[in-house]
Amino acid sequence: MITNNVETLMKLNTPKLMLTALALAAGSAYAAEPVIGLITKTETNPFFVKMKEGAQAEAAKLGAKVMSAAGKTDGDNAGQVTAMENMIAAGAKTILITPSDSKAIVPAIKKAQAQGVMVIALDSPTEPANATDALFATDNYKAGVFIGQYAKAALNGKKPVIATLDLFPGHPVGAQRHNGFLQGYGLTSLDAKSNELAKPAEVVCMADSFGDRAKGQTGMENCLQKNPNINVVYTINEPAAAGAYNALKAAGKEKDVLIVSVDGGCAGIKDVGAGVIAATSQQYPLRMAAMGVAAGVEYAKTGKKVSGYTDTGVTLIAAKVMKGVDSKDVKTGTDLCWGNK
């Protein structure tokens, strides 16, 4: 009688037991393959292409799945918000994001965190910076300091007449690179926490390039009209630097003006070798993404979140060595660059 009751109970509970087994199997499969979302500013910029490669390579190594998306253009906050919502719906427990709009993205991040999702900013911080669980990025102020030190050494005591081709007003990365450059040069500047752009007397022209080659060229043309004696040009990135060089060449001034920049993409490193850019601070998007994926896998396995800021490294690349300034050569830069070699 007892045996019959047990058999009856087992028959009644078989569907439940099967569902429990399936749920456990699904749970273990999920644990074995954490889902990590990567949201970049755009799909086409070589910097973000390399970042995606880094994320996918690390995910393959650690047994994770990466979902990737991007805004239609740099500044497309709505596109990034939609991507975040879609990834969370698909089971992502970690989101890696390069914020297009450092302030506007914050409510979506808070909403994700409320659902137990860890959010890590890559490359660019949010505003406030502590809106994300962590930030893996270049020390952009240090990147600026390096090229400022190089420019000062290269001018060898000559009075600097400076043009800055910046990103756009209020962006923390743009401010950090700009102010770091001035600090490195030994000029009056602001600290790394400021989102304002310092303008000492030595800076005779400031223009917003939006990191774009064509806008960089236009900005440089306008600056030359304001002051034809410019002898140093700081640029937010290497496309802006290439645009500045085109304007200087058209004016017959390319040999008289020193251009420094930040990024370390393969095209930019090639420009350093060709003498278009004197020096650039190289950053490492692949490393940022790989570290983000590793943190996401750890969170999925242990529930432990990363926190705070992690410096992913920066190296000064220059074709010509300057006394007292630590730099690496073009070959080193080419070995570590991103984009088409």
Copy the structure tokens of residue 4. 């019959």
Range 198-204 average pLDDT = 98
| All domains of the chain in start order, with CATH | 25-138+285-306 (3.40.50.2300), 140-282+315-336 (3.40.50.2300)
Range 14-34 average pLDDT = 45
Q: How many C-beta atoms surround the C-beta of residue 23 within 10 A?
A: 10
Residue 203: partners with Cβ closer than 8 Å, 6 or more residues away: 162, 163, 164, 182, 187
pLDDT over threshold 70, residue 41: yes
- pTM assigned to the model: 0.84
Model confidence pLDDT, tens digit, residues 148-200: 999 999 999 999 999 999 998 888 899 999 999 999 999 999 999 999 999 99
Asked if residue 155 lies in contact with residue 325, where contact means CB atoms within 8 angstroms, the answer is: no
Residue 80: partners with Cβ closer than 8 Å, 6 or more residues away: 39, 41, 69, 70, 71, 97, 99, 100, 101, 105, 108
Residue type at position 227: N
Model confidence pLDDT, tens digit, residues 69-128: 998 888 899 999 999 999 999 999 999 999 999 999 999 999 999 999 999 999 999 999
Range 58-62 average pLDDT = 97
pLDDT-derived band at 32, boundaries 50, 70, 90: low
Range 285-296 average pLDDT = 97
